[in-house]
Amino acid sequence: MPAEWNPYRLYDSYSYAQNVPRRGLLVNGLPALSQLDPAKVARYVLLTVRDPLCAYDDDPATQLARRLEDAEQIGKSGMFTTWTGAYRGVAVTAVSGGSGSPEAELIMHELLEFTDADTFIRVGGSGGYHPKVEPGDIVIASGVVRDEGMTQAYVPASYPAVASYDVVIAMARAASRLGQPFHIGVTRSSDSDFCGVGRPSVGGYFQPWHTEILDTWARAGVLNGDRESAAVVTLAALFGKRGGSVCSVADNVIADKQFAVGAGHTSAMEIALAGVVELAALDAATAIGAGLLLPQLTG
């Protein structure tokens, strides 16, 4: 690498660099949008959405916190709720917020900028694309189609949103041991939750290309679609961290599997938590140079 190479030289030469905070906004010394305590954020972070279609019986981060030992609410704002505790002895942080890639950007920025967390996993609901995916199944993303707009503000669309291999392995191990039906494959993220995913908008509104969306991506082997996975995986990778996605499937239009409220969402949370334990074990083995004995995975 050339000695003069500086990844921040564009910022340093920016005309308005002195007019904007380099690290983002703070309020009362805490990250402005989440109001979380950076020192209390664990290495492993689960990111959830306040999604009524998931039939959560409470805020999803709070629901996850009930499964944790010594859970402490370490941040609450008008946008995000954050808890940290331990699951089977492994420290984990759970965050809830609103839907979509732009909102995911806000919490990812504060976590990446202000904390020492290095692993970010999207946990939530999705719709099935490929006919083999059933309501209640879990999709562990190996990669994500970036068909939303936020990540394209960071890097061209040709940049691959590849999930961390470590995360995929750990989540698949957890799903296998829990006996949960799961698939490993590609997820697609879209900003639109109607026309952009092949579902009619007001009064049945469509354009001709909307009617081809589901078939196009199913033929390409895409398993499911959501709104946040691309943001989590892409931003984690851009800043040298690990990202992944564990999504339950609520319906499948191509397969004529009707929407089932809450289908698989408890399973997704259980897999994510158990997967963090698996990941911590993999990380510990790697740290001592023991090497990894990887399982045969099917999905």
Domains of the chain and CATH, by start: 16-287 (3.40.50.1580)
Question: Pairing mode, if any, of strands 182-190 and 90-97?
Answer: unpaired
**Which of 90, 98, 113 minimizes the C-alpha distance to 47?**
98
Q: What is the pLDDT averaged over residues 179-187?
A: 97
Q: Which residues are paired to 287 by β-bridges? A: none
* 30 Cβ contact list (under 8 Å, min separation 6): 36, 37, 38, 75
| Region of residue 58 (left: phi > 0; alpha: psi -120 to 50; beta: else) | beta
Phi, psi of 105 (to 5 degrees): -60, -40
150-178 pLDDT per residue, tens: 999 999 999 999 999 999 999 999 999 99
pTM: 0.95
* 132 Cβ contact list (under 8 Å, min separation 6): 183, 223, 255
- pLDDT, residue 12, reads 86
Here the tokens at position 274 are: 């158990």
Is a pLDDT exceeding 50 seen at residue 226? yes
Phi, psi of 184 (to 5 degrees): -115, 125
47-102 pLDDT per residue, tens: 999 998 888 888 999 999 999 999 999 999 999 999 999 999 999 999 999 999 99
Distances in Å between the Cα of 23 and the Cα atoms of 11, 110, 115, 155 are 12, 9, 12, 19
- CA separation for the pair 23, 21 (Å, rounded): 6
Residue 94 has a CB neighbour count (10 Å cut-off) of: 30
